[in-house]
Amino acid sequence: SSVEVEEQYSQAHAELKVVAAKLAELEAGELQEQVSYWTTRAAVAEGSLSAAQNKLKERGDDISRLDSRRVELANRLTELDGGLHSLDAEKAALRERESALNVQIEDQRIQIEPAEKELAAAEQEETRLQELENNAQRGFANAERLLGQVQLEQTRKQEALDNLQQKISDDFGLVMFEYAADVSGPVPLPIEGMVEQLPIVTELAPDLEEQLTHNRAQLRRMGAINPDAKAEYEQEKERYEFMKTQVEDLRKAQADLKQVVAELDELTKQEFVKTFDAVDKQFRETFVRLFGGGSARLALTDPENLVETGIEIEARLPGRREQGLALLSGGERSLTAIALVFALLKVSPTPVCVMDEVDAMLDEANVGRFRDLLVDLSKDTQFIVITHNRNTVQAADVIYGVTMGRDSASQVISLRLDQVTDDMLKRR
């Protein structure tokens, strides 16, 4: 019927709309895919174009640089060509100069040959003259030797003559004797005009010979008369007085120095005793505090000689008898030495004190007492302590450490403990 046909038409029309809608959706999807595809292609093309443009620009820059470099090289080549031409010209000039010098050398050689011959002749003449000079020197030496012999012989004869004259003077130069005509004996020497005329002696004294011998002996002991003796005596006397004054000054200075040394020795002894007593007192207290008991003292090995005396440590640990350092363990000796160092610092504080692993042999309890005393002394002295003990590190204000980085190089790091917060410790 017509109603059924209309229904079928309506259904078909509705289905057609649905199909058309789906078809439209399909077409729209395909178009969207194509648009996306070509959009992507366009973007890729634009990227390629941009890259190509950049590459082209880079090539253009390279070409510009190469052109500039080519121009520079061309200019440099031109300069080198000019320099090469200059060198060629200089080389030619040098060759000409060399030729001229060769000519001059040949001329000089021609002129030198006669001079060389003259020089050879002069050398031969010099050799001959040298031989003559040597012969003359030998003759002169012989003449000097003969002259020396003659002078020596003359000196000997002069000495003999002087001795003879002296003997004559000793024998006959004092008095003149008058010989009787009937007296036999040697004839007197003719010396009237050579000596002072003395009264004539007509009779000889009985002891004249003995007195004459005695006077001769005295004259020999006196020796020759020095005419400058008085001046030399005055000089020696003046020098003696000067040296005497110098000796007196030196003795006075020596006495003053001895007095100063004695005063210094006495002052040193007083200061030593004062310092020793103060250090001993502090050492006793520090020892008891570090060991938690016991006793210790410093003793002099030679109390009578304070200048050269030594010092010994006598210690008694808690619960033990008094004994020397040699009988203590390593840790006990270390702690005793620390007590002595701390006692010295208490008596005379120093600005800085460096300690290198002094706590290495101490146990936990001793380290704690050492750390507490170190903190007390740090008020007057800055301590630099090298240690691997955690308990000692806890007393530090600043910690310095050395570590190795990734490049195997040592690095120094520092940390102030007063700036460390709880949050930092929790993060660790």
% of the chain surpassing 90 pLDDT:
5
Domains, the chain: 231-348 (3.40.50.300), 350-428 (3.40.50.300)
**298 near 280, Cβ under 8 Å?**
yes
CA atoms 299, 302, 306, 312: torsion sign: negative
Is the pLDDT at 27 greater than 50, yes or no? Answer: yes
Rounded to the nearest 5°, which phi and psi values hold at 315? -125, 145
> What is the residue-wise DSSP string for 56-71?
HHHHHHHHHHHHHHHH
Q: Look at residue 278 in the predicted model and tell me its pLDDT.
A: 92
pLDDT per residue as tens digits for the range 50-67: 777 777 788 888 888 888
**Do residues 355 and 386 touch, judged by C-beta distance below 8 A?**
yes
What is the residue type of 116? E
Write the CA distances from 63 to 74, 334, 369, integer angstroms: 16, 81, 82
Two structure tokens written together for 179: 């010989």
Tokens 């033990």 correspond to 320
Query: What stretch of H or E contains 143?
Result: helix 2-172
Q: pLDDT, tens digit, for every residue of 339-368?
A: 999 999 999 888 999 999 888 888 888 888
If pLDDT is split at 50, 70 and 90, which confidence band does 45 have? Answer: low
Residue 131 binned pLDDT confidence (cut-offs 50, 70, 90): confident
DSSP state of 285: H
Please, are residues 287 and 259 in contact by the beta-carbon 8 Å criterion?
no
The mean per-residue pLDDT over the stretch 304-320 comes to 84
Give the pLDDT confidence score for residue 250 in this predicted structure.
83
CA 353 to chain centroid, in Å, comes to 27
